[in-house]
Amino acid sequence: MILIIDDDSAIRSSLSFMLKRAKYDVQAVGGPREAIEVVRSVAPSLILMDMNFTLSTNGEEGLTLLKQVKIFRPEVPVILMTAWGSIQLAVQGMQAGAFDFITKPWNNMALMQRIETALQLTATDKKVQEDGEIESFDRSLIIGKSKPLMDVLATIKRIAKTNASVLITGESGTGKELIAEALHRNSPRTKKPFVKVNLGGISQSLFESEMFGHKKGAFTDASSDRVGRFELADKGTIFLDEIGDLDLSCQVKLLRVLQEQTFEVLGDSKPRKVDIRVVSATNADLPHMVAQRIFREDLFYRINLITVHLPALRERRDDIPLLVRYFARRQCEANAMPYVDFAPDAMAYLSSLPYPGNIRELKNLVERTLLVSGKELLTAADFKAQTLQISDARNSQASFQGMTLEEIEKQTILQALEKYTNNISQVANALGISRAALYRRLEKFGISTNE
C-alpha cells in the first residue's frame, strides 16, 4: 500500500487516481494526525508526503511528521513533495531520512520512476536480509578479496538492479570507474549504452554542447549537428566522473536535466526526453564544498541517493599481491614478454608502500619496473629504484610554506612537468590525477606544456 499525505484534496485525488491505474493499493490522508494513525497500524510500502501543511508556514510540521514516521517505520521509503521555492526544506528532509524528493508541479513519469526505484530497492534489501545473497554478480576487472572490497561489492550487488542514482566517492586511483561499470553491467540496462563523461575535462563554455548536443549553426563553430552525451546514454547509464570539478553555472544546468529527465539541444527549443541512470564519482569532499557554497546542496542530494565509498589501497593491503600479479601478467601479454615472478622481498616491499595514488600508482609502478628492469625475477631493489624517481616531486611540496593553495598546486604541476619533460601521462600518474583533470588545471593556470 502507498500512503499519500497532503492537505490538498485535489492532489490527493489526482495521485490516488494515477497510482490506482498503475495497480497500486492506495490510501490518502489530509494531515499528520491521520497519517500517524495509519502508520501505527499498517506498514505502507511507500509514503508520498507533502512538506507544507496549512498549519505550518516554514515546514516544521512536515519535518516533525517525517521524523515520527521514521521512528515507527524506519524501513519504509518516503518521497517528499515540495514547491520549487522550498528546496532547502526538501534537503532537510533528506537529511532526516527521506528517500527522495520531487518538486511541484511534477512530471508524472518522473514521479512513477522514483516510486518504482524506491519500491525496488526496498524489496532488494528485504531479499538480501532473508536469503543472505542475491543472484550471481559480474565483477570483471575488479581484483581483490579483502573485506573492505567485499563490503563494497555487497553494496553494489544490492543496488545494481535498481535505477537509484549512485555517488561513488574515494581517493583518486581507487577504481571508481570500474565500480560504475560493474553497476551498469549488473543492471537491467546492461545491453544499453554506458556513457562516460569526465566533467573535469569539459570547460564551462563547452558544457551544454558536450552534454546536450547542438544543431548545425547553433554557434560560430557549429559546422554540423552533434549528439550530446545525455542523448547517447538514453535507456542506459551515464557516468559523471569528477563531478566535484563542475562549476556552479553548469551545476544548475545538470540539476535541471536530472530532475526532469529532459533537455534541449543547442539551437533547437524542442525538449527531448531521456531515460537514464546516473552514476557520479568524485574524490572531492562534497559536503565540505556544499558548506562552502561551491557545490549546490540540492544537486548533492540528487546524485547521492546511494553513496558507495571506495577504500584506499592502504586499507586493503591483502589485495596488493593479487593486483601486482594481475598488472604484471597483462603487461607481459601486451608486450609479448615472458611472464615475470616476484621475490618474497619484492612483495613485502610493495605491500608496505603508502600509495597516495592508490591502485593507479601501483599499476604504474609495476608496469614501469617490469619494462625498465627486463628481468624475469623482480626484487625489492628493482622497485625501490623506481619509487625514488617520484619521491622528489612529492617531498618538494614541503618547501611551499606561505603560499596559497593555488600557488602550491601550480608550482607542483610545473615541477612535475619539468621532472617528466612534459610527458602528460607520467605527470598525471605522479600527481595522482587523471589526464583530463591535469589538462583542466593547465588551462586554469595558463601553463603551456612547452614551458
Provide the residue-wise pLDDT of the chain in tens; the chain has 451 residues: 999 999 889 999 999 999 999 999 999 998 888 998 899 888 899 999 988 765 445 667 788 888 888 888 888 999 988 876 667 777 788 878 888 888 778 888 878 878 887 887 777 555 555 444 444 678 878 998 899 999 999 889 888 888 888 999 999 999 999 999 999 999 999 999 999 999 988 888 788 888 998 777 667 676 788 888 999 999 999 999 999 999 898 999 999 898 888 888 887 778 889 999 999 999 999 999 999 999 999 899 889 888 899 999 999 999 999 999 999 988 888 888 888 888 989 999 999 999 988 999 999 999 989 988 888 899 999 898 887 655 554 555 455 555 665 676 788 788 888 888 888 888 887 776 777 778 888 888 888 876 4
Q: For residues 267 and 192, what is the distance between their CA atoms, to the nearest angstrom?
A: 27
> 400-445 belongs to which homologous superfamily?
Homeodomain-like (1.10.10.60)
pTM of the model: 0.66
Q: For residues 88 and 84, what is the distance between their CA atoms, to the nearest angstrom?
A: 9
pLDDT of residue 450: 63
Q: Count, in order, helices (H) and strands (E) of the chain.
A: 19, 16
47: helix, coil or strand? strand
CATH code, residues 314-395: 1.10.8.60
Residues of the chain with CATH 1.10.8.60: 314-395
The torsion defined by the Cα of 96, 99, 105 and 109, in degrees rounded to 10, comes to 180
Residues of the chain with CATH 1.10.10.60: 400-445
Q: For residues 237 and 257, what is the distance between their CA atoms, to the nearest angstrom?
A: 14
Residues 6+ apart with CB under 8 A from 180: 166, 168, 194, 196, 237, 239, 241, 279, 281
Burial of residue 220 (CB within 10 Å: 0-12, 13-18, 19+) is exposed
Residue 223: CB atoms within 10 A of its CB come to 8
DSSP label at 171? S
Contact 342, 377 (CB under 8 A): yes
pLDDT of residue 277: 93
137: helix, coil or strand? coil
The three cell numbers of residue 317 are 593491503
Q: For residues 41 and 334, what is the distance between their CA atoms, to the nearest angstrom?
A: 64
Q: For residues 327 and 4, what is the distance between their CA atoms, to the nearest angstrom?
A: 54
Question: Does CATH number 3.50.50.60 belong to domain 2-127?
Answer: no
DSSP label at 310? P
Contact 172, 358 (CB under 8 A): yes
CATH code, residues 138-311: 3.40.50.300
pLDDT of residue 92: 81
Query: Buried b vs exposed e over 337-367: b needs ≥16 C-beta within 10 Å?
Result: eeebebeeebbebbeebebebbbbbbbbbbb
Strand pairing report for 46-50 and 2-5? parallel
Residues of the chain with CATH 3.40.50.2300: 2-127
Question: Which residue in this structure is represented by grid cell 490518502?
Answer: 28
